[in-house]
Amino acid sequence: MYNYPHYKEQDPEAVYRFMQDYPFVNLIGTNAAGRTELTQVPVLTEKRENKIFISGHIARKSTHHQALQDNPEALVIYTGPHCYVSGSWYTGNPYQGSTWNYISVHARGTVRWMREEEMTELLRRLSLHFENGNKSSTTYYDNLPAAYLDKLLTAIVGFEIEVRELDNVLKLSQNRDELSYDNIIRELDRQEGDARTIAGLMKNRKPLVFPAK
């Protein structure tokens, strides 16, 4: 991780909200031979008794499943908006290397594999969460055909990670002088998508406060 004090969000609640807002994560593990495995997977991020838990599922008997069985220590990476920042936007001396502004949270912990009844409940909550609470949705777990679920439950395995270590990087040009900082905002504001989102965060000086969805 790009580890400098001025690129850190100090509010743990803001970091937690960010994790909930960006649930499509990179789940990383390493097998007994040292090979790294990665799966991109949607997760639920929840607090229980002031501890953060991450839960989701991956393909059963996959190389990633095997790796995390060999070595249950996992790294989960949450990524948010990001964009290119041209060095030509810096005032005073524009002859500098360009950079990239971004937000990322890294969570580490030990994988615990779920029992079948736990995984069933996870799938119920996961589907309901991403269907925005709509229990009448055809893709909500309780509305899926039994034959389909029988095949599904043999193909996947549920996991839970209690977060033991949490870190973040909030690289938003905090190291630049005020004139350069304001000019970067103007340049990003002329663009669309993530660039404009990053510009808004820089303007507010509240990096992890996102507009309501």
Q: CA 21, CA 113: separation in Å to the nearest integer?
A: 24
Which pair of tokens denotes residue 78? 């949450």
Least confident residue range of 70-74, 93-97, 107-111: 93-97
Evaluate the CA torsion angle 53, 56, 61, 64 in order and state its sign: negative
> Residue 6 — pLDDT band, cuts 50, 70, 90?
confident
With 70 as the cut, is the pLDDT of residue 161 above it?
yes
Mean pLDDT of 159-177: 95
Worst-scoring range by mean pLDDT, 65-74, 92-101, 128-137, 203-212? 203-212
- Extents of the domains making up the chain: 5-176
How many other CB atoms are found less than 10 A from the CB of residue 126?
A: 20
Among 35, 105, 111, which residue's Cα sits nearest to residue 73? 111
pLDDT of 213 above 50? no
pLDDT band at residue 204 under the 50/70/90 scheme: confident
The predicted structure's pLDDT at residue 72: 97
Question: Is there a contact between 78 and 41 (Cβ–Cβ < 8 Å)?
Answer: no
Q: Give residues with Cβ within 8 angstroms of 60, minimum separation 6.
A: 154, 155, 156, 157
Class of domain 5-176: mainly beta
Distance CA 119, CA 129 (A): 15
SS3 label, residue 46: strand
